[in-house]
Amino acid sequence: MSSEKPACERIDKWLWYARFGKTRALAQKLIERGQVMLNDAKVKKTSASVRIGDRVVVVLGTIKRSVTVLELGERRGPAEEARLLYDEPVPKEKLNSENAALPLYKPMHVRERGAGRPTKKDRRDMAHEFGWDDES
């Protein structure tokens, strides 16, 4: 095994190492939804290569972050270690609601406090709302 560092790395791995996604699957989801740009071009594949010096733009909810890749990751370590992988020359940009990205998770169903236990009708309505009634 050689001790040389590779010249490039998959962008989904790099986003995960740099802590832009909590899991690698969420990093892949960011790419699939078009929320990641590499050198001013939308990333189409999760296997796209990122190199040192590349400019990565990530939209996370209402925040747009532009970073420059300083190093390629070897592992997902603590936040201090992840921060060494990139430089953020431009501060985080706050986006308005029409330019913001959709949330990665479905929102949880929240019942009003004191509403009590859901009735059978409430459960059917929830099943219909979340698409659970389609499953057999």
| Predicted local confidence at residue 105, as pLDDT | 63
| Predicted local confidence at residue 62, as pLDDT | 85
- Is it the case that residue 136 has pLDDT exceeding 60? no
Are 124 and 116 contacting, i.e. CB atoms less than 8 angstroms apart?
no
- Is it the case that residue 87 has pLDDT exceeding 60? yes
Burial class (CB in 10 A: 0-12, 13-18, 19+), 54: middle
Neighbours of 32 (CB within 10 A): 14
User: Is there a domain that residue 114 lies in?
Assistant: no
Count of domains in the chain? 1
User: Is there a domain that residue 127 lies in?
Assistant: no
pTM score of the predicted model? 0.71
Inter-CA distances, 15 with 114, 119, 126, Å: 42, 43, 35
User: Is there a domain that residue 125 lies in?
Assistant: no
User: Domain containing 61: what range?
Assistant: 8-94
Query: 């190199």: which residue's tokens?
Result: 51
| Predicted local confidence at residue 102, as pLDDT | 66
Consecutive H or E run containing 15: helix 11-17
Q: For residue range 5-60, what is the model confidence (pLDDT) as tens digits?
A: 778 899 999 999 999 989 999 999 999 988 899 998 999 998 999 999 999 999 98
Q: Among 2-6, 14-18, 68-72, 110-114, which stretch is predicted with the lowest mean pLDDT?
A: 2-6
User: Is there a domain that residue 57 lies in?
Assistant: yes
User: Is there a domain that residue 102 lies in?
Assistant: no
- Is it the case that residue 111 has pLDDT exceeding 80? no
DSSP string, 76-107: ---HHHHHTTEE--SPPEEPPTTTSPPPSSPP
Closest among 24, 15, 1 to 85, alpha carbons compared: 15
Which CATH number characterizes residue 76's domain?
Answer: 3.10.290.10
User: Is there a domain that residue 126 lies in?
Assistant: no
Q: Among 9-13, 83-87, 92-96, which stretch is predicted with the lowest mean pLDDT?
A: 92-96
